Structure 1
Amino acid sequence: MAMYFNNYSTWRSKPGVYLEDLYVRPQYRKRGYGKMLIQALAQECCRIGGARLDWTCLRWNTPSLEFYDSLGAKRQEDWVGLRVDGQDLEDLALGKTKVLRDGV
């Protein structure tokens, strides 16, 4: 299963595809299904005139990272993932940022 959505690269001024989740059931792994799914996303990206296919992977997920490396994916070491969730998300929606809350 590949869950994805279209995105847009402001760096390249072109659309792209972002892979949110890739999952192959354990009993079907190492049979080429993951590669076929990512290949289909690459085809979709090319079809829309996209500049790139992006996704993230947890650092500890070595088998997946090795799989992605084998496909020619390049790790984006310069980028930092960011998230706001839980109470911080609710506070931000109300304009109560950490700076205002903590007086920092």
Structure 2
Amino acid sequence: MIRTATVDDIAEIRAMIRELAAYEKAVEQARATEEQVRAALFGAHPAASVLIAEDDGTGEVAGFALWFPRFSTWTGARGMHLEDLFVRPGHRAAGHGRALLAALAGICRESGFERFEWVVLNWNEPAIGFYKSLGAELLEEWTVCRLSGGALEELAAQAPPVVHPART
């Protein structure tokens, strides 16, 4: 079963974020607290949405997908960015990942989104093979860029004032 997350899922979502980070060999980077996850998903201005996969036999939470809308200047249309997809090891190969991605594709279609995009670590061959089996195109000519920590702070320190004209 695929369902939208509720506030009662916060602890489970945070636990799966940490499990995903451990799988990706970066658990020290997964610092989000339950309070931050709650605010991001259920606060006054939600930043993202989550779908939960439950095992039909046991009712256990098998995995999750966290996504948010994005915009393409090239197509002039909104799309979807999948930030995290995770299925717990004991539930893999049971169709939960495919079901989560299919549900997200359905949301894209219903919302008029023209693109559904995500990134995958280049060493994660099982995931890459799975995504290719679904027809996903790997855009190898693109490289993810990131500013964080000191580099972000250094560039921000050089920011000019931003003028906000009154909107009419």
Per-residue deviation, residues 41-73 of structure 1 (Å, max 9, x unmatched)? 101111110111000000000000000001100
**What RMSD, in angstroms, separates the aligned Cα atoms of the two structures?**
1.0
Partner of 2:90: 27
Matches within 5 A, 1:16-95: 16-95=79-158
Partner of 1:10: 73
Moved over 3 A (4+): none
- The structural deviation recorded for 1:11 is 1.2
- The structural deviation recorded for 1:92 is 1.2
* Unaligned segments of structure 1, at least 5 residues: 97-104
Identity percentage of aligned residues: 44
The alignment's TM-score, normalised by the length of structure 1, stands at 0.89
- The structural deviation recorded for 1:88 is 0.5
Which structure would you say has the larger RCO, counting Cα contacts within 8 Å and 6 or more residues apart?
1
- The structural deviation recorded for 1:32 is 0.3
Structure-1 separation of matches of 2:149 and 2:120: 22
Q: How many pairs does the alignment contain? A: 96
